[in-house]
Structure 1
């Protein structure tokens, strides 16, 4: 792995890093890869580390203001959002609703069949 890292750093291309990823999956344990990722992220400033981690896990970032009506924009954002983002924004939106809207929302989701 150390030689592979050296080759990857020497080439420095996206293809080289992609190849590094495949070799790392084959040759390193999940714990070793996690520690490598953690070490690399903590070597960066906070903003760069957050952007890098978000790119790696496919995070959607903050939702944009609705352009037309909101529901299509919300569904589009939700299709890109990570599980943690979906949970955080869903809870925050629910908590920001009036009690009447919360009750209506609860009634709506109670009538939807959830796939297990």
Structure 2
């Protein structure tokens, strides 16, 4: 780690990541990541670091041929936070009648499962 801190370059940190994977347990690496994120000055800084690692999906693209297929494809790599935000926003944008139909559909799917 001292070598990496001295160099401070992207390549050095990428190399440290590889060494950490080889020499540290998953629990040790998780603890190190937790401590590093907690050491940042603001929550926004921690979120930016987290987002750079997790590669969030961003906003859904306009549908091409099948809106449902496109939505499912986007949801397959979106973060839980993104899926919740877009699901709630989409639900709230529905007219009351469609909201009722959606709630009925969800209840039926839940019973069938």
TM-score, normalised to structure 1, is 0.68
Q: Which moved more, 1:74-83 or 1:57-66?
A: 57-66
State the shift of 1:113 in Å.
3.0
Q: Paired residue for 1:78?
A: 75
- Distance in 1 (alpha carbons) for counterparts of 2:81 and 2:98: 23
Question: Deviation at 1:56?
Answer: 1.2
Cα RMSD (Å): 3.5
Number of equivalenced pairs: 109
Structure 1 partner of 2:18: 19
Q: Which residue is 1:63 aligned to?
A: 60
* Cα distance change, pair 34–107 in 1 and its aligned pair in 2 (3 A): same
- Give the TM-score normalised by the residue count of structure 2: 0.70
Structure with the higher fraction of residues in helix conformation: 2
Task: Specify every segment of 5 or more residues in structure 1 that has no aligned partner in the other structure, as ranges.
Answer: none
* 1:85-105 superposed Cα distances (whole Å, 9 cap, x missing partner): 111111111011000110111
Give the alignment partner of residue 101 of structure 2, picking from 99, 104, 111: 104
Unaligned runs of 5+ in 2: none
| Kept after mapping to 2: 8 A contact 1:8/1:17 | no
